[in-house]
Amino acid sequence: MTPLAEKRLLQGVMAITLLLPLSAAIAGVTGGPHFLGHPPVVPTDLDSHFRYVSGLFLGMLLLFASCIPAVERKGPRLRLLALMVFIGGLFRLLSLVAIGMPSLGHRIGLGIELVELPLLLLWQMRVAKRFRAAD
């Protein structure tokens, strides 16, 4: 596979991977915790905090998306963002152990955070190396 073809494949995988978290972040920003399907009475402070954290998440995802066009040159930004997401995933894992199994969407998120994202970083480093070698 050529370096350009591999880059395009990585870009596609990244774009598809962002769809689920982007939809969750947008739902969290616009609807607060109600989109999770829990009781309709949500304390004001919980709603405020949930939307704030959803906004931070949305911002991070938009920064991830901004890396897609020139993914071979965005390694430092991707690693910083990935570290933030990985740390969040560790605390999601802590919740799973301490409280119990979350819904399917949250389990998929956990897989993205702790498994897929590190693999994508390794792939990005490979693509970057191939592009540097081609120059």
Please report the pLDDT score of residue 15 as a whole number: 97
Distance CA 105, CA 89 (A): 13
The H or E element spanning position 118 is helix 117-134
Per-residue model confidence as pLDDT tens digits over 117-126: 999 999 999 9
Query: Which 3 state secondary structure label does DSSP give 43?
Result: coil
What span, in angstroms and rounded, lies between the C-alpha atoms of 77 and 83?
Answer: 10
Going by C-alpha positions, the residue among 128, 95, 88 that lies closest to residue 112 is: 88
- Other beta carbons within 10 angstroms of residue 74's beta carbon come to 18
pLDDT digits (tens, 9 = 90+) for 11-66: 999 999 999 999 999 999 998 888 888 777 888 999 999 999 999 999 999 999 99
| pLDDT greater than 90 at residue 92 | yes
Query: Given this model, what pLDDT does residue 109 score?
Result: 93
Q: What is the pTM of this model?
A: 0.89
